[in-house]
Structure 1
Amino acid sequence: MMITLDTIDRRILSLLQTDGSLSVADLADRLGMTAPPCWRRVKRLKDQGILQRQVWIADPIALGLGTTIFATVKLATHDAQATSAFRDQVGVLPEVMECHILLGTIDVLLKIVVPDIKYYEAFFYDRLSQLPGVREVNSSVSMSEVKKSYTLPEITSPTAN
């Protein structure tokens, strides 16, 4: 269900996606409004599930996690039980930052963050390739990160152009 947002709601989302630590008072000040109506809007966005959670983004390099791997996975079968087993197992691997089930020739795309290639090698052989239903895994190492955004794009209706 698509929720209609006005200009102020969109500005709130933009500001909070850029800096989730803004207080309601700071947010209201940047929007040129008082804190109580701003707080009500933020609460409504939370209640509607648009604002889901507030997190701090850690620097992976500073934490010794400087290697990002994108792994594509082909599953042996596509029945509900096998797919569910794979999802359950991949969901508990802390190295897997993202898991996307795809349509097409590749079944799954994983974003994996590890300290180095040697760690990934062990992770691959001991855990990733052992997940239920995995037939084939192809891995690509990210050489550099060109863009990383946590702010969702503002999309207008295709008929608006």
Structure 2
Amino acid sequence: MAAALDDLDRNILALLQTDATLPLDEIARRLGASKTPVWNRIRKMRDAGVIRGEVAILDPDKLGLESCFFVLIRTSQHDAEWLARFLEAVRARPEVMEAHRLAGDIDYILKVRVANARAYDAFYRALIKEVSIFNVTSTLSMEEIKNTTALPLETVSGMG
């Protein structure tokens, strides 16, 4: 169930999505509010799980992780045991940045970040050693056009 947010909540979240290191004084100043109500709202949104955490966003290229692969997976097995092994394998692999179960012809898509094709091949070999997969199609991203962690808050309803 979605949390009920008003304009001040959305504005606080918008600032935090841009820079979570902003001091409370600066957030309150930018929003024309006093510190205590802003702090109370931030605390309330943390307690409600709206704010799940605060992290540093690293540059993969500067860390030598220049290759981003999207891995499309089809399975012929849909039993609980296979699913448990698959989820464990995917969650244990640090190269997997995102994993989604899909509707349609493809069962899962993974976003995998590695140094190069050789590193991707090592990832692929390790994955298929851990779990049986019917079909894997991998595509290399040639250019990242947009990458954001910011959610579209202007579309969030005030209703909860």
TM-score class normalised by the smaller sequence: over 0.9
**Unaligned 5+ residue runs, structure 1?**
none
Match of residue 148 from structure 2: 149
Matches within 5 A, 1:61-140: 61-125=61-125, 127-140=126-139
Q: CA RMSD in A?
A: 1.2
Q: Give CA-to-partner distance per residue, 1:102-158, whole Å, 9 cap, x none.
A: 111111100000001121122212x1222323121100000000011111113256x
Matches within 5 A, 1:43-62: 43-62=43-62
State the alpha-carbon separation in 2 of the partners of residues 147 and 72 from structure 1: 20
Q: Which amino acid aligns with 2:91?
A: G
**Unaligned 5+ residue runs, structure 2?**
none
Residue 80 of structure 1, CA deviation: 1.9
Taking only the aligned residue pairs, the percentage that are identical comes to: 39
Match of residue 42 from structure 2: 42
Number of equivalent positions: 156
**Looking at both structures, which has the greater relative contact order when contacts are Cα pairs under 8 Å and sequence separation is at least 6?**
2
Q: Which amino acid aligns with 2:139?
A: S
4+ residue runs over 4 A deviation? none
State the alpha-carbon separation in 2 of the partners of residues 156 and 18 from structure 1: 17
Residue 79 of structure 1, CA deviation: 1.5
